Amino acid sequence: MSIEYVVVSEGEQDEPIELPTEEDGSLLLSTISAQFVGASGLKYRAGGRLRGLRLTEDRVLPPAEGWGAHRYFCAFPRVDIPTATTRPRCSDLIVLGLPWKTGEETVREYFSTFGDLLMVQVKRDTKTGLSKGFGFIKFAEYDAQLRALGRRHMIDGRWCDVRIPNSKDGSSAAHRKVFVGRCTESLTADDLREYFGAFGQVTDVFVPKPFRAFSFVTFLDPEVAQSLCGQDHVIKGVSVNISTASPKREHSGRSQLLGWSLLEGAAPRVYSWPPDAWQHSAHSAHSAHSHSTAPPDAKPYLKYE
DNA sequence: GTTGAGCGTT
C-alpha cells in the first residue's frame, strides 16, 4: 500500500488537515497528535452513525474498506479520568525509627496491609551488617502511599515514621511544611495533628523534646501549607503563629526583617477552629471573650488587648 | 524560650 493522505479535523465542524499515512496504510498516533495535541484516536460518520477506528499501541488502523473519502475527526480522552501521566505517582518512602532487630521481612509484612509493595529495604552497615534503624519502601498504588503517610507505625514494638525522603526533591518537604511558633507545653503533637488535619492531610508533626516554643507541621499538599502561612490560629486556647519553615541548615539571622515590616500594615488573619474545641479544657482568663463561636475570620482573637 | 534527628555503598 502506498502513502496517501487522510482528511482529519479536530471536531466535526473544524477545518480539516490532510495527514500522511505510513507504508502499511496506518496513521501514526504521533502524526495525529502533531496537529491535534491530546487526541487519542479517530472516528468518522458511517451511515449517520459515529464509527471509531481501531487503535494499536502507536497507530490508528484504517477501516476495513480503506480510508476512502471519509472525513475523520479526533477522539479525545475524558479529562476527568486519571491517566498514567495525570495520576500522582508513588515515590520511595523512608521508614525512620526501625528497631535494630527488624529486617526486611517484617517491614514488608507490616506495610503489605496498606497495599502492594514494589520495594523494601532496611539499610545496614556494610561491614557489620547491623541495621541502621531506617529503610525504604515503595508502594504500587498511590492510595496505599497516602494511607501509610500521615500516621505512625508500630513495628516490632517501636513507633516508626514514614516520610517522603529529603533527597528526592520535587515533592520535598520544604513547601509542605509550616513552622508553628508560640507553642506552649500544653500543645501535644496529637493536638496539632488533630487541629491541622482539618485543613488537609498531615504527614508529619514535629514537637521538640525537651520543650521549645515551636513545632513543625507537614502537610501532604503544599498548597494547604502555603495557605496557612502568615496566619495566627488558636488551638486549645493557645494563640500560635504559622510561618514558612526555613531549611534546616541555612539559618544565619533570618533576613526576614524587610518582609515582616511589610506585613505589619495588614490586619493579621486569626483563626480558631474548631470554634469551641478548646473551651472544654483548661484555658486562660482571656476565655471571657466569646470570640470562639464566630466564623473563622469574622473576629480576631486578641490575646493582648 | 519562634526553625527540626536519624535520609539511600550498588
CA angle A22, A26, A29 (to 5 degrees): 90
Cell of A111: 506495610
Is nucleic acid strand B under 7 Å from A136's C-beta? yes
**How many angstroms separate the CA of A33 from the C1' of B2?**
53
- How high is the mean pLDDT in each 10-residue block of chain A (305 residues)? 88 95 96 95 93 95 95 90 77 95 97 96 94 96 90 93 73 82 96 95 92 94 93 96 81 37 34 37 30 28 21
Nearest DNA or RNA nucleotide to A158 (CA to C1'): B6
Is nucleic acid strand B under 7 Å from A245's C-beta? yes
Q: What pTM was estimated for this model as a whole?
A: 0.55
**How many angstroms separate the CA of A209 from the C1' of B1?**
13
What pLDDT shows up at residue A171?
A: 55
**How many angstroms separate the CA of A168 from the C1' of B2?**
28
Is nucleic acid strand B under 7 Å from A268's C-beta? no
Is nucleic acid strand B under 7 Å from A173's C-beta? yes
The closest of A31, A145, A41 to A94, measured between CA atoms, is A145
What pLDDT shows up at residue A215?
A: 97
Is nucleic acid strand B under 7 Å from A16's C-beta? no
What pLDDT shows up at residue A172?
A: 66
Is nucleic acid strand B under 7 Å from A30's C-beta? no
> Which strand B bases fall within 7 angstroms of a protein CB?
1-10
Is nucleic acid strand B under 7 Å from A253's C-beta? no
**How many angstroms separate the CA of A119 from the C1' of B9?**
18
Asked whether A66 and A54 are in contact (CB, 8 A), the reply is no
Is nucleic acid strand B under 7 Å from A251's C-beta? yes
Is nucleic acid strand B under 7 Å from A244's C-beta? yes
Nearest DNA or RNA nucleotide to A124 (CA to C1'): B9
Is nucleic acid strand B under 7 Å from A175's C-beta? no
**How many angstroms separate the CA of A208 from the C1' of B5?**
10
Is nucleic acid strand B under 7 Å from A152's C-beta? no
C-alpha to C-alpha distance for A22 and A264, rounded to whole angstroms: 66
**How many angstroms separate the CA of A157 from the C1' of B7?**
22
C-alpha to C-alpha distance for A13 and A32, rounded to whole angstroms: 17
